[in-house]
Amino acid sequence: MKIIVTSIFVQDQDKALEFYSETLGFVKKYDVPAGEFRWITLVSPDNQDGTDLVLEPNDNPAAKEYQKKLFDQGIPATMFGVADVRKEYNRLMKHGVKFTMEPTEMGAITIAVFDDTCGNLIQILEQK
């Protein structure tokens, strides 16, 4: 068994697609109609056969509440691995990304947390 798809709730699928592809650098894999919304998935440019990230609309009241509570408590909705957190932090800062936690070493890892502009905090992590 392996993880093939994971999702993140977003407030606006178009805005999320732009941020996750143009700013973060993920590659769009699927973008197909799904009722009043779309099935949008992205993959890592380094592993296009890897796990798909679904940009899931938060139209459901439970999803909105869950997303808001995580954000308000400063809890990242998900985490992405990077080779160099400080390098990624500097690259994203140049794109205007707002961080809620600057790169911070915690033993064998370094993490940072940013606002994805779509209702989520995202943690990036470098393992040493």
Dihedral over alpha carbons 25, 29, 33, 39 (to 10 degrees) = -70
Q: Count helices and strands (H / E) in the chain.
A: 3, 8
pLDDT > 70 fraction of the chain, expressed in percent and rounded: 100
Which residues pair with residue 14 across a beta bridge?
none
- CA dist 81 and 123 (Å) reads 9
Span 18-74, pLDDT tens digits: 999 999 999 999 999 999 999 999 999 999 999 999 999 999 999 999 999 999 999
71 C-beta neighbours (distance < 10 Å), count: 17
Question: What's the pLDDT band for 6 if we cut at 50, 70, 90?
Answer: very high
Q: Which CATH architecture has domain 5-127?
A: Roll (3.10)
Q: What percent of the chain has pLDDT over 90?
A: 99
Give the mean pLDDT of 5-17. Answer: 97
